[in-house]
Structure 1
Amino acid sequence: MIIERQEQVTDAVLAAMSDTGNPRLAVIMNSLVRHLHDFVREVQLTEPEFEQAIGAVVALGQLTTATHNEVVLAADVIGLSTLVCLMNNGPAGNTETAAALLGPFWRMNSPVTRNGDSIVRSPTPGENLAVRCAVRDVNGAPVAGAVVDVWQASPVGMYENQDPDQADMNLRGQFTTDAEGRFWFSSVKPAGYPVPTHGIVGTLLAAQKRAPLRPAHIHFLIYKPGFKTLVSQIFVDDEQQLQSDVVFGVTRSLVGKLDRGADGLSLAHDFVLAPGEAILPTPPIS
């Protein structure tokens, strides 16, 4: 098609893609083109703004390394990651545990750890935290033999791959549920933290006058064939940032209650797995 006016561009692109062999790809790309073109028309995007947007996309890729994923972070802070997560993991009120973001800091092959052991692998000052959990199916039966990956930030609000003072794989561990579906470990109380702001995401948050803060939490990834892989987080209930999580990831049912005793803090939580396909996500960092 020879273009005579801007209104014809969208139809020309859709026509050019009409022979797409994959039906799902055709649906996604047709909708993407229509919405993106409509967005450009709605905001009357200027050429300098378009160039700036292209530069931002390029920078997202350039800033993504083996230890930092700026693309995932960008999707997180505009709520896109949470939206996709909640859309694909059942409506509120389902019997399975609510899903939460994988986030940009999950690493494959965290250390296999025995139940009851600590995930503190280098000097990490902070309040002692005992975590006791159970994994059940939707009927309440224990799920034995589930692999549970755990990771968290330190009391200074940094994951070990961000902090040269922490040992590799500090505050990470991989557990297996026992015959009663239980797993347990010791750690230190995590802290809330700012998401990385050295790149495009930080510039955007500053322009929007948004605090880059996440409330304290512990990540859990639970995997067993026959069950849908659960990626979730448990949030600390005394955090001010629960109401203003920069990535919009706090679900009410995932706010855990810390109990304080003579030996330190404790946290108990039960996870419920739904039947489905067990698939591990692609690690955002190595």
Structure 2
Amino acid sequence: MNRFSFNQATAKHWPMPDLVAGCVAAGVRNVGLWREETAAHGLARTTDLVRGAGLTVTSLCRGGFFTTPDRYDDNRRAIDEAATLGAPVLVLVSGGLPDGSRDLAGARRQVGDAIGELVPHALAAGVRLAIEPLHPMFCSDRCVVSTLGQALDLAAPYPAAAVGVVVDTYHLWWDDQVWDQIDRAGRDDRLACFQVADWITPLPAGVLLGRGLPGAGCVDLRRFRSAVDAAGYTGPIEVEVFHEQLWTRPGRDILDAAIAGYRDHVADGSGP
């Protein structure tokens, strides 16, 4: 369980103090946090809470949405928040097409340029920007970066210490090129974050909330685990699931189910 990280979104309605206490009680040492919940509890209070409990913040979600106006200052704040929390990674969701635009290639160039503007601030803060590709069905309104290859192309002009990529099984399981791209990410030292969730069908009306706990769907999660390991990634493995029915359960029940799914369907069985 040394690499297991419980992403806060998996138990969205679990209050921050209860989340931290539940992780400690379950022997979980790593958490992924979200900016909205951190702000609601207070950045300083959250920082003191997780540090006092001995927890490590593995990532902060999220920055990005670069194709909308006035995102530069918000992303600088997000970098600073991650640094305060001790999170080494800020996850970036790029944003969709600008209003009224059909220029997908131009939107991706805009994302790359915006990330470049943030690189000096990220390097100074010691926070790595991690570009997360989302499933193509989110391309128009949430994320014009749809494949790991596109994310790596956007990261390539910048230092690997400043810009990496996220491998999220929910978003990438369908892509037959993903294995070669994971290998490429490893060679280029770009693997910054690894998140696991399953793909369940039929999808609910709110497609964004169609994730399942490990083992609930059709994704070969252990193959992803093996691939990122072979590419040299030794960092945390976050279980990050969005599902309204899951969120109705008590937080500790969700955490226990996430741990069981991780052990049965992600961990390799030969080590932590």
* Structure with larger RCO (C-alpha < 8 A, sep 6+): 1
TM-score with structure 1 setting the length = 0.23
* Greater gyration radius: 1
Select the structure that is richer in strand: 1
